[in-house]
Amino acid sequence: MFLKNIQIKNFRNIKKMEYNAESNLNIFMGDNGQGKTNILEAIFVSSTGKSFRTPTDTNLINYEESWYSIKTKYVNNERKINSFIKLDQSKNKILQINNKKTSINNPESLKLVLFIPDDLDLVKGSPLKRRKFIDFTLKQISQDYSFNFDNYGKLLRKRNLLLKNDQTNTKSFNIINDLFVETAVKLILSRINFTSLLDQIIKPLYQEITNGKNTIKIRYALSFNIEDEKINQNILEKSFIENQRSIKDKEIKRKKSMIGPHLDDIHLYQDNKLARHFASQGQQRNIAVCLKLAEVYAFKKIKDYYPVFLLDEVLAELDQEKRLLLLNHLSKAEFQSFLTSVNSNNLRNVEAKLSVIKDGQLIGKE
Ligand SMILES: Nc1ncnc2c1ncn2[C@@H]1O[C@H](COP(=O)(O)OP(=O)(O)OP(=O)(O)O)[C@@H](O)[C@H]1O
Ligand SMILES: [Mg+2]
């Protein structure tokens, strides 16, 4: 997918902006607080209907206005698509794709991989972060996954409620639990397949970005034991149920579901050692960047088209060598990226469209 044009009105500190994305790599430069992240946020909102940094939609409306709107034009395999989103203070939200009302789960919506500074913690942070990382892309890739994911959340809440109310010996607990296990196994299988795809893709990427100094490995880590080496639906289901039996008393005592995809993790190894314990802070950041990059390629492998890659302030945290290697990779890549940077060092010789942003306005090249 390629974003061709975006028109933003009354969004955050951007009163009116039109941007033509003529290049594969698009860089927004500028001082702090000028509106660089707001542009990436506008792209993200146009695709998902939500922000990545506020749960309150109306925060996005410019302080002095009563509504915002974002129009985009993009292409997917030469098919032209347009989108429109408008939100007013009374929370009326209009979402359109190709001039027709739509929901956020439209398969034609602009697909994205987002990297924000917070993601630099992907390696060291909580397992929830790593689960969110793969779930965000799997949900965009597959409507089935998205459906199962939402369903699992509902079943988990129901199951926990029955545990809380001491109703584990009821018929409804058994019904809920059967569905819970079935849905859990579907999610786990999709995640294992995706993780193994990421593992294949990230290996050469990490060598490239770190200049061949370290190796990397990614493994899906289940929240329960499994005896067999081979994993398939039957084996997973069997082990899941056996494990549930063995921790039944514990679950009743703690009143919550203690195994399942809501507690799984993704283990990252550098040179065969767990990266969150052994890799340096900088190396952990390099791994995080490569993970996101791998996600872009994994998406393409599955869907046969690339998502658009948004990177907010990633360069500041990398050393000079990695910065250049990453910029080089992005400028030569087949997919499109949008990147923000406070510092204009390193950017001069990169093949990219460079724009300076000041007070919510594009002021062209510096
Ligand atoms: N609803 C809003 N209306 C008007 N201005 C807003 C609104 N929400 C945020 N802002 C302002 O937008 C400005 C730019 O924010 P943004 O996060 O895009 O800056 P940035 O260029 O990415 O800066 P940094 O380099 O610090 O990350 C901030 O000064 C903020 O006060
Ligand atoms: Mg910013």
Question: Tens digits of per-residue pLDDT, 328-344?
Answer: 999 999 999 999 999 77
pLDDT(271) > 70? yes
- Which segments of 210-256 does DSSP mark as H helices, in order? 233-246, 248-254
Q: To which H or E segment does residue 10 belong?
A: strand 2-11
Mean pLDDT of 50-72: 97
Question: Tens digits of per-residue pLDDT, 173-205?
Answer: 999 999 999 999 999 999 999 999 999 999 999
pLDDT of residue 104: 78
Q: How confident is the model at residue 365 (pLDDT cuts 50, 70, 90)?
A: low
pLDDT(229) > 80? no
Is 37 marked within a binding site?
Answer: yes
Is 31 marked within a binding site?
Answer: yes
Cβ proximity of 209 and 326 under 8 Å: yes
- 63 CB near ligand 1 (under 6 Å): yes
Residues around the ion ligand 2 (C-beta < 5 A)? 36-37
- 342 CB near ligand 1 (under 6 Å): yes
- 13 CB near ligand 1 (under 6 Å): yes
- 58 CB near ligand 1 (under 6 Å): no
Q: Sign of the C-alpha dihedral, residues 221, 222, 227, 233?
A: negative
Domains and CATH numbers, the chain: 2-111+305-362 (3.40.50.300), 127-276 (1.20.1050.90)
